[in-house]
Amino acid sequence: MRQGLQLKISQQLTMTPQLQQAIRLLQLSTLDLRQEMIEQLYSNPLLEIDEDIPEAASAQDSERPTSETNQVAEAERNSEQNPEYEWNDEIPKDLPVDANWDDVYSPPSAAASSGGEVNLEQVYQITESFQGHLEWQLNLTPFSDRDREIASAFIDSIDSSGFIAAELSDITAHIQYDDIEDQLHEDELVAVLHRLQQFDPPGVFARSISECLTIQLNQLAPETDHLQSAKHLVSDFLQDIASMDNARLAKKTGLDRDELQGALQLVRSLNPRPGEALSSNDVEYIVPDAYVEKIKGRWRVKLNDSNMPRLRINDSYSSLIKRSDSSDQNQFLKDNLAEARWFLRSIESRNETLMRVAMTIVDLQRGFLDHGPVAMKPMVLSDIATKLELHESTISRVTTSKYLATPLGIFELKYFFSSHVSTAGGGECSSTAVCAILKEMIGAEQPAKPLSDSKLTSLLEQQGIQVARRTVAKYRESLGIPSSSQRKRF
- At 73, the pLDDT band (50, 70, 90 cuts) reads very low
Gap between the Cα atoms of 334 and 357, Å rounded: 35
**Residue 55, pLDDT above cutoff 60:** no
Nearest to 155 by CA among 178, 136, 175: 136
What pLDDT is attached to residue 360? 93
- Report the mean per-residue pLDDT for the chain: 80
Sign of the dihedral through C-alpha 419, 424, 425, 426: positive
Gap between the Cα atoms of 49 and 337, Å rounded: 15
Gap between the Cα atoms of 337 and 317, Å rounded: 9
Gap between the Cα atoms of 284 and 123, Å rounded: 22
Contact call for residues 399 and 414 (beta carbons, < 8 A): yes
| Per-residue pLDDT reduced to its tens digit, 5-33 | 888 888 776 667 777 878 888 888 888 88
What pLDDT is attached to residue 19? 76
What pLDDT is attached to residue 110? 41
**Residue 197, pLDDT above cutoff 60:** yes
Which of 84-88, 328-332, 407-411, 414-418 is least confident? 84-88
What pLDDT is attached to residue 96? 53
- At 94, the pLDDT band (50, 70, 90 cuts) reads low
The average pLDDT across 82-103 equals 50
The average pLDDT across 335-352 equals 90
| Per-residue pLDDT reduced to its tens digit, 394-406 | 889 888 888 999 9
- How many angstroms separate the Cα of 253 from the Cα of each of 241, 363, 453? 11, 59, 31
Structural element, H or E, at residue 69: helix 66-81
What pLDDT is attached to residue 240? 77
| Per-residue pLDDT reduced to its tens digit, 119-171 | 555 544 544 688 888 899 999 999 998 899 999 999 999 988 889 988 888 89
The average pLDDT across 78-96 equals 49
What pLDDT is attached to residue 64? 42
What pLDDT is attached to residue 79? 46
Q: Identify the burial level of 275 via C-beta atoms within 10 angstroms of its C-beta, where 0-12 means exposed, 13-18 middle and 19 or more buried.
A: buried
What is the residue-wise DSSP string for 127-139? H-SHHHHHHHHHH
- Amino acid occupying residue 27: Q
pTM: 0.59
What pLDDT is attached to residue 103? 53
| Per-residue pLDDT reduced to its tens digit, 198-257 | 998 899 999 999 999 999 999 999 899 989 988 888 888 888 776 666 777 788 888 888
- At 113, the pLDDT band (50, 70, 90 cuts) reads very low
What pLDDT is attached to residue 31? 82
